[in-house]
C-alpha cells in the first residue's frame, strides 16, 4: 500500500480501544503506543510524513504482526499489515533500520 | 509556559515518578489526548503514577505551579471528559492496575483505578461472582473511568450504574498538600454523613483523583432464560416491556433494536438470527428448574403483544450458541462499517457518534419515533438501539470531520435528541456523562425541571474541592 492508502485506512480507526485486550505487547507494556490503536496513529503519522520520533519507531517495531487485533476491530483494520507497510515506507524513506533496531532494544530493556 | 519552565517541570516530575513514567514525546501525547468520540487536543506530557503517594506528589506540584491535571483511564469515553488542554498534564492510571483484595463474605473487591473492567470480572468469576456494570467498552474501559463517568451497561435495568456499586473510595484532593482521603465503608449499610462517595462517582475527575475503589460484588446468576422477538409495531414492543413489569418480572437484560437498525445489522453479516421488524431481547435470571416456566410466561407476554419469530434459549450457553444477542452486539460494528464505507469519499476522518439519553420506559415508542423523524428531517444517518428496561436509548450516527457542514449538522442533531429526552421527562445523559459536549444539555434539563439553581451549587461544590480549578477544568459545570 502506498502512503495515501495507509492514510485512508488509518482514518477508519475510531480509537475505541476494543483491540487492546488481545494485544500481546499491550498486555505486558501498558502504554498506548504499545497497543494496536496507538500503532494505527503511528502508521498515520509516518504515512503523512510527520515526525518519526523514537516512540513512533518503538510503536511500529514492537508489533509482533500476530493479527490478533484484526478480529476485534469493528472496522476490520488489519493493523499488522499497516505496520508492515509503514516499516517499508520508513525503509524507502531512508530511515535507518539500525536506529529502529536500537529503539526496539531500548524499549525491551 | 516557556521552554525553560517546561523543562524544569518535567525534571521535577521525573524525579517523583522516574523518567520512564513521564512522557512528552509529541506522538505519545497525541494518543493520550484523544478519545473514542474522535475528540482530540494536546497536553504538556503524560504521567504514569504507580502509587497514591506519587499521585499526591503530582497534585502538590500541580497545585503550586498552577498546572491542570486530566485523569485518564483508557479514554473510551464519549463526551470529552478525558480530553486534556494545552499546558496540562494527562494523569494516566495505567500503572495502578492491581486488584488488592477480594472478600466474598463481605461482598466487595478492592481495585485500583487502572484495572480493566473485563479483568475485574474475570478475576471475580473465579469466585463465582461478578461486577455487574458492563458498558459496551468493558474490554477496554477501566474501573477509574467507570467511576468517573458513572458508567452503566446492558445489565443496568437490574443492577443500575456505578453509583450503586461503589462502596468506598480513596481519593487525592487537589489542594496544597495533595491530601489523601478515604470515604465510604466496607459494609453494605453505611451512613457517613453527606454521601461524598456518590458525589464523586460520576464527577468525571473534576473533584478528586480516584486512587482506589471498594466495589460491591454479586454472584453470577446460576442460569438465565433469554427470548428474542420481532415486532412490526413499536407500541407492541413497548407493551411487552410494560407486560414484563406488570408480571412482576425483573429482567437481567432487556434490550431493543429498531427495525432499520436490525436490517443494517443483518445485512452487514452481524447476526446469525435473521428477522424483520423491531427486535426485543429479554433475559431473566432464574434457577434452571424454573427455566421452562419463565420461558413460557415470557413467550406468552410477547405473543399477546404480536411478536413474531420468537427465539427461546432456556439457559445461558444456549443463548450464546443460538446467537440471541448477535443483533444487539452487532449493531454498533455494523454502523461503524457503514460509516467506514462512507469514509471512502470523505474529506477527513469519519467519526461515529453514540448518543446517550434516557426516557421513562413507558415513553420509549414515542421517543424512538421522534428520534427517527428528526434524523430523517435533518438527513442524519441513524442506528438506534438501547436498554429497554431502563429507557436508555443510544442513537448512533457519524460525520465527516473534513466537512464542517456535516459536523455542524450532527451537533444540531445532538441538541434536538437531548430536547426530545427532556420533553419526554427523561435525561440528556444516562451513562456516558456530561464532559465538555453536553454542558448545554445539562443546563436545558435542569431548567426544564426547575433545577437551574443546582448548577450554581455544583459550581460551588467544585470550588470547595478544587479551589484553584486545576482538576479537569472545563468539564461538567
Q: Please state the ipTM of this predicted complex.
A: 0.91
Nearest to B31 among A11, A12, A33 (CB): A33
B251's grid cell: 429482567
Do residues B326 and B271 lie in contact, with contact meaning Cβ atoms separated by under 8 Å? Answer: yes
Whether residue B138 contacts residue B121, with contact meaning beta carbons closer than 8 Å, is answered with yes
For the stretch A36-74, pLDDT in tens is 999 999 999 999 998 899 999 999 999 999 999 999 998
CA pair distance B184, B207, nearest whole angstrom: 16
* Interchain proximity A21–B32, CB inside 8 Å: no
Domains of chain B, first to last:
3-94 (3.30.43.10), 99-219 (3.30.465.10), 224-328 (3.30.70.2190), 346-463 (3.30.70.2740)
| For residues B29-33, average pLDDT | 98
**Can you give the residue ranges of every domain in chain A?**
3-108
CA dist B210 to A89, B72, B83, B282, Å?
43, 10, 17, 35
With a CB cutoff of 8 Å and minimum separation 6, the contacts of B473 are: B68, B85, B206
Q: Is B268 on the interface with A (CB under 8 A)?
A: no
The percentage of chain B sitting over the pLDDT mark of 70, rounded to a whole number, equals 100
Q: Which residue of A has its CA nearest to B30?
A: A41
Are B351 and A14 in contact (CB < 8 Å)? yes
List of chain B residues whose C-beta atoms are within 8 Å of the C-beta of residue A32: 28, 31-32
The set of cell numbers assigned to B263 is: 436490517
Task: Please write down the long-range contacts of B370-375, taking CB distance under 8 Å and 24 or more positions apart.
Answer: B370/B420, B370/B424, B371/B395, B371/B417, B371/B420, B372/B258, B372/B260, B374/B413, B374/B416, B374/B417, B374/B420, B375/B413
Cα–Cα dist B434/B400, whole Å: 23
* B339, pLDDT greater than 90: no
Q: Which CATH superfamily is domain A3-108 in?
A: Alpha-helical ferredoxin (1.10.1060.10)
Residue of B97, B139, B337 lying closest to A18 (CB–CB)? B139
CA separation for the pair B223, B293 (Å, rounded): 13
Q: How many CB pairs lie under 8 A apart between chains A and B?
A: 87
- Chain A interface disruption, residue of B18, B20, B26, B27, most A CBs within 10 A: B27
Reading across the β-sheet that carries B22-23, which strands appear in turn? B22-23, B45-47, B89-92, B69-72
| Residues B467/B175, Cβ–Cβ less than 8 Å | yes
B94, B118, B332 ranked by CB distance to A31: nearest: B94
Q: pTM of the predicted model, to two decimals?
A: 0.93
Query: Are B436 and B476 within 8 A, CB to CB?
Result: no
B243 at A interface, C-beta within 8 A: no
**Residue in chain B lying closest to A39 (CA):** B31
CA atoms within 13 A on the CB side of B166: 33
Asked if B336 reaches chain A (Cβ–Cβ under 8 Å), the answer is yes
Burial of B4 (0-12, 13-18, 19+ CB in 10 A): exposed
pLDDT over 80 at B346, yes or no? no
Compute, in degrees rounded to 10, the torsion defined by CA atoms B25, B28, B33, B37. Answer: 160
Per residue in B366-412, pLDDT (tens digit) is: 999 999 999 999 999 999 999 999 999 999 998 888 888 988 999 99
**B221 DSSP 8-state letter:** P
Closest-CA distance, A31 to chain B, in angstroms, reads 7
Instruction: Confirm if B371 and B395 have CB atoms less than 8 A apart.
Output: yes
Count CB atoms within 10 A of the CB of residue B427.
18
| Antiparallel, parallel or unpaired: β B392-400 and B383-387 | antiparallel
pLDDT, tens digit (0-9, with 9 covering 90-100), for B111-136: 999 999 999 999 999 999 999 999 99
Contact B398, B339 (CB under 8 A): yes
Amino acid at each position: 500500500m502506498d502512503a495515501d492508502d495507509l492514510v485512508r485506512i488509518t482514518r477508519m480507526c475510531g480509537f475505541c480501544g476494543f483491540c487492546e485486550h488481545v494485544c500481546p505487547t499491550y498486555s505486558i507494556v501498558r502504554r498506548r503506543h504499545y497497543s494496536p490503536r496507538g500503532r494505527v496513529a503511528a502508521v498515520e503519522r509516518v504515512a503523512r510524513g510527520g515526525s518519526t520520533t523514537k516512540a513512533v519507531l518503538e510503536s511500529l517495531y514492537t508489533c509482533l504482526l500476530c493479527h490478533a487485533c484484526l478480529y476485534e476491530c469493528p472496522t476490520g483494520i488489519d493493523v499488522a499489515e499497516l505496520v508492515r507497510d509503514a516499516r517499508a515506507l520508513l525503509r524507502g524513506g531512508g530511515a535507518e533500520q539500525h536506529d529502529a533496531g536500537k529503539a526496539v532494544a531500548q524499549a525491551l530493556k | 509556559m516557556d521552554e525553560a519552565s517546561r523543562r524544569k517541570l518535567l525534571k521535577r516530575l521525573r524525579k517523583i515518578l522516574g523518567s520512564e513514567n513521564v512522557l512528552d514525546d509529541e506522538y505519545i501525547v497525541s494518543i493520550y489526548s484523544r478519545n473514542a468520540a474522535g475528540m482530540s487536543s494536546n497536553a504538556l506530557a503524560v504521567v504514569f503514577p504507580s502509587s497514591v503517594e506519587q499521585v499526591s506528589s503530582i497534585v502538590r506540584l500541580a497545585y503550586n505551579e498552577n498546572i491542570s491535571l486530566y485523569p485518564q483511564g483508557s479514554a473510551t469515553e464519549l463526551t470529552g471528559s478525558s480530553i486534556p488542554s494545552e499546558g496540562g498534564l494527562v494523569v494516566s492510571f495505567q500503572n495502578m492496575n492491581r486488584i488488592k483484595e477480594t472478600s466474598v463474605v463481605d461482598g466487595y473487591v478492592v481495585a485500583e483505578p487502572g484495572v480493566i473492567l473485563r479483568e475485574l470480572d474475570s478475576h471475580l468469576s473465579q469466585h463465582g461472582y461478578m461486577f455487574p456494570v458492563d458498558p459496551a467498552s468493558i474490554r477496554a474501559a477501566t474501573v477509574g473511568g467507570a467511576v468517573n463517568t458513572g458508567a452503566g451497561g446492558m445489565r443496568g435495568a437490574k443492577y443500575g450504574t456505578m453509583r450503586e456499586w461503589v462502596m468506598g473510595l480513596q481519593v487525592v484532593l487537589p489542594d496544597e498538600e495533595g491530601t489523601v482521603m478515604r470515604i465510604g465503608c466496607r459494609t453494605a449499610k453505611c451512613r457517613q454523613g453527606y454521601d461524598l462517595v456518590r458525589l464523586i462517582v460520576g464527577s468525571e475527575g473534576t473533584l478528586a483523583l480516584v486512587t482506589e475503589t471498594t466495589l460491591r460484588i454479586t454472584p453470577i446468576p446460576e442460569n438465565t432464560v433469554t427470548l428474542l422477538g420481532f415486532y412490526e409495531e413499536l407500541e407492541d414492543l413497548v407493551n411487552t416491556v410494560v407486560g414484563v413489569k406488570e408480571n412482576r418480572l425483573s429482567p437481567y437484560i432487556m434490550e431493543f433494536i429498531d427495525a432499520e437498525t436490525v436490517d443494517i445489522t443483518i445485512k452487514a453479516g452481524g447476526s446469525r438470527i435473521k428477522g424483520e421488524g423491531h427486535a426485543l431481547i429479554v433475559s431473566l435470571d432464574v434457577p434452571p428448574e424454573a427455566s421452562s416456566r419463565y420461558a413460557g410466561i415470557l413467550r406468552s407476554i410477547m405473543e399477546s403483544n404480536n411478536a413474531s419469530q420468537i427465539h427461546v434459549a432456556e439457559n445461558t450457553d444456549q443463548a450464546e450458541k443460538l446467537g440471541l444477542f448477535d443483533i444487539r452486539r452487532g449493531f454498533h460494528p455494523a454502523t461503524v462499517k457503514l460509516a467506514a464505507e462512507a469514509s471512502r469519499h470523505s474529506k477527513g476522518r469519519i467519526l461515529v457518534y453514540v448518543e446517550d439519553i434516557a426516557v421513562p420506559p413507558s415513553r420509549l415508542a414515542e421517543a424512538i419515533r421522534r428520534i427517527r423523524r428528526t434524523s430523517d428531517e435533518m438527513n442524519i444517518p441513524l442506528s438506534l438501539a438501547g436498554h429497554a428496561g431502563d429507557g436508555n436509548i443510544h442513537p448512533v450516527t457519524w460525520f465527516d470531520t473534513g466537512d464542517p457542514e456535516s459536523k455542524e449538522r450532527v451537533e444540531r442533531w445532538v441538541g434536538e435528541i437531548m430536547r426530545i429526552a427532556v420533553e419526554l421527562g427523561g435525561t440528556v445523559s444516562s451513562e456516558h456523562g456530561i464532559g465538555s459536549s453536553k454542558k448545554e444539555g445539562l443546563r436545558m434539563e435542569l431548567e426544564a425541571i426547575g433545577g437551574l439553581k443546582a448548577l450554581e451549587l455544583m459550581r460551588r461544590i467544585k470550588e470547595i474541592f478544587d479551589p484553584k480549578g486545576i482538576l479537569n477544568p472545563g468539564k461538567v459545570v
